[in-house]
Amino acid sequence: MDSSVEYSVDGKSSSSSSDMSEIISAIEFVDPVCDPSNPRLIKFSDISTAAFNIRNGIARTPTVKSNRLSSMFGMELFLKKEHLQATGSFKERGARFALLRLKPQEREIGVVAASAGNHALALALHGQSLEIPVTVVMPEFAPLMKISSCQTYGANVILHGKDIQKDSNISMDLVCFYSSKNKIVLFYILDNPDVIAGQGTIGLEILEQVDNLDAVIIPVGGGGLIAGIALALKTLKPEIQIIGVESDVCPSFRNAMVHKEEVMHPESSLADGLAVPTVGYNALKIADGLIDHLVSVCEESIALAILRLIEIEKSVVEGAGAVGLAAILSGKVDFLKGKRVVTILTGGNIDTTVLGRTIERGLAVDGRLIKFDVVVSDRPGGIAELTTHIARAGASIKDMFHERAWLAGNVFSVSVRVVAETRGHEHVKELQELLSNKYAQVSFPNVRTIEN
């Protein structure tokens, strides 16, 4: 696939982001479905309608009990596997319902929206299914796999901006401009009431699939998912506990709840699907009073949760989809011990290069991948002796780097940095004790550990 997708507005092409920025510099985007002075709420009947309308176009994903994770954390833990949707994300639900709600003339002319990836995929697939033309504005550095998939589904892809979070206003201004000039429907995703109703159908399925449920753990980004699910669950079972989970580097929803309004908070996170720059007014108002607990998790716990899901559940889940398990393994929801709990694996669209780095981060947090520096003799046999000690300790050397020129002191010494695979934190302590007894200069950098 040619990754150099042109910018095309009103039939005219531009090859640079700066040209496009000049075109839209005077535009101010106004969300037509998100009025801060008049939030648009949804009712339980809207979610029921959504469930009926999308039933033939959306997978009814399984909610399965994880025996091993249940045993590890002292609760009956069920996983709602939304990452098994056709495009790998729960966002198909809201996208399909919102597309179905378009008027006949709107469906004929098509829609345009901005998305970092998952919503773009959902819109493209269901636009194709419903024969609705779709244009999506994606960041220039969006994964090529997602760009290619959107084009395979027949969507017109416009690449603009370096980062959908940091360039959100510019992206939405471009969408508004494109919609106006090409006479197609502006499809705003974040706070669209129809999208929220569609996401709420997950709550209905959960209650049908798990009896005597005590709590549901829900990832929180822009707020639409937790607003829809919480409304569905609390309507049918008011005593159920709703726990929202955010990344602690981007607690947009908590900040918005404190300020009682939409809040800009653009930060990057491994849970990139949750790192939205804004939280919607509609979602905030719908969710008001329905969330029992809102917790945040660190990047290390998200990486470890992704690793646990791969190793134990054989499920590849993106960061946003793993935050529920991250909250459990980091002890943020210990009050749920002994309860019947569902956590939602919202998506599985993690870039393969990010996945590799995430697995290594998870192994490091788990004490199964370590690095340390040690100064050894640079005479023949010095490094061989070091590798022998490491092998006898049961560790496996993955990488080794030497430094001589900048080492202070004895010219017949060499500083060696070792990256090794170990069995866990106790094994690391044993290795550290052994090497400290053998060498005068050895250091193990501190690694943030997660209690689990």
369 has pLDDT over 50: yes
What integer is the mean pLDDT of 383-395? 96
Give Rg (Cα) of the chain.
25
115 shares its domain with 16: yes
Note the pLDDT of residue 14.
40
Please state, in angstroms and rounded to a whole number, the distance separating the CA atoms of residues 263 and 284.
11
Beta carbons of 283 and 223 less than 8 angstroms apart: yes
Task: Report percent pLDDT > 70 for the chain.
Answer: 84
Note the pLDDT of residue 114.
84
213 shares its domain with 72: yes
Beta carbons of 232 and 201 less than 8 angstroms apart: yes
Note the pLDDT of residue 338.
98
Note the pLDDT of residue 174.
65
Q: Which residue has the higher pLDDT, 38 or 182?
A: 38
164 has pLDDT over 80: no
Note the pLDDT of residue 166.
52
397 part of a folded domain? yes
81 shares its domain with 220: yes
Note the pLDDT of residue 175.
66
Q: Which residue has the higher pLDDT, 23 or 186?
A: 186
122 shares its domain with 65: no
Note the pLDDT of residue 26.
44
Last residue of a domain, one of 362, 382, 399: 362
438 has pLDDT over 90: yes
75 part of a folded domain? yes
**Cα dihedral angle (213, 219, 220, 225), rounded to 10 degrees?**
-60
113 shares its domain with 63: no
Q: Which residue has the higher pLDDT, 449 or 102?
A: 102
Note the pLDDT of residue 6.
37
* Most confidently modeled range among 29-43, 139-153, 232-246, 275-289: 232-246
Q: Which residue has the higher pLDDT, 270 or 152?
A: 152
pLDDT in tens, 304-335: 999 999 999 999 999 999 999 999 999 999 99
Please state, in angstroms and rounded to a whole number, the distance separating the CA atoms of residues 376 and 404.
11
Note the pLDDT of residue 452.
53
Query: For the sheet containing 63-65, what is the strand order?
Result: 63-65, 76-81, 340-345, 215-219, 241-247, 293-297
Residue 64 contacts by C-beta under 8 Å, 6 or more apart in sequence?
A: 78, 79, 81
146 has pLDDT over 80: yes
24 shares its domain with 154: yes
176 shares its domain with 226: no
Note the pLDDT of residue 409.
74
345 part of a folded domain? yes
At 361, which helix (H) or strand (E)?
helix 352-365
Beta carbons of 106 and 99 less than 8 angstroms apart: no
What integer is the mean pLDDT of 395-422? 90
Please state, in angstroms and rounded to a whole number, the distance separating the CA atoms of residues 35 and 24.
22
116 part of a folded domain? yes
Residue 105 contacts by C-beta under 8 Å, 6 or more apart in sequence?
A: none
Residue 18: give the domain boundaries.
7-29+91-186
Identify the weakest region by mean pLDDT among 14-28, 126-140, 391-405, 430-444: 14-28
CATH number at residue 420: 3.30.70.260
Please state, in angstroms and rounded to a whole number, the distance separating the CA atoms of residues 162 and 405.
40
What integer is the mean pLDDT of 29-42? 74
Q: Report the chain's mean pLDDT, rounded to a whole number.
A: 87
- Model confidence band, residue 170 (pLDDT cutoffs 50, 70, 90): very low
pLDDT in tens, 105-141: 999 999 988 887 899 999 999 999 999 999 998 888 7
38 part of a folded domain? no
CATH number at residue 173: 3.40.50.1100
34 part of a folded domain? no
Last residue of a domain, one of 158, 186, 214: 186
Beta carbons of 157 and 112 less than 8 angstroms apart: no
Last residue of a domain, one of 140, 164, 186: 186
pLDDT in tens, 72-98: 999 999 999 999 999 999 999 999 999
148 shares its domain with 261: no
415 part of a folded domain? yes
Task: Report percent pLDDT > 90 for the chain.
Answer: 66
- Model confidence band, residue 24 (pLDDT cutoffs 50, 70, 90): very low
215 shares its domain with 315: yes
Please state, in angstroms and rounded to a whole number, the distance separating the CA atoms of residues 286 and 223.
9
What integer is the mean pLDDT of 22-30? 48
Note the pLDDT of residue 260.
60
271 shares its domain with 394: no
374 shares its domain with 432: yes
What integer is the mean pLDDT of 173-183? 65
Beta carbons of 229 and 217 less than 8 angstroms apart: no
Report the domain count for the chain. 3
208 part of a folded domain? yes
259 shares its domain with 348: yes
pLDDT in tens, 185-214: 777 777 899 999 999 999 999 999 999 999
What integer is the mean pLDDT of 251-269? 69
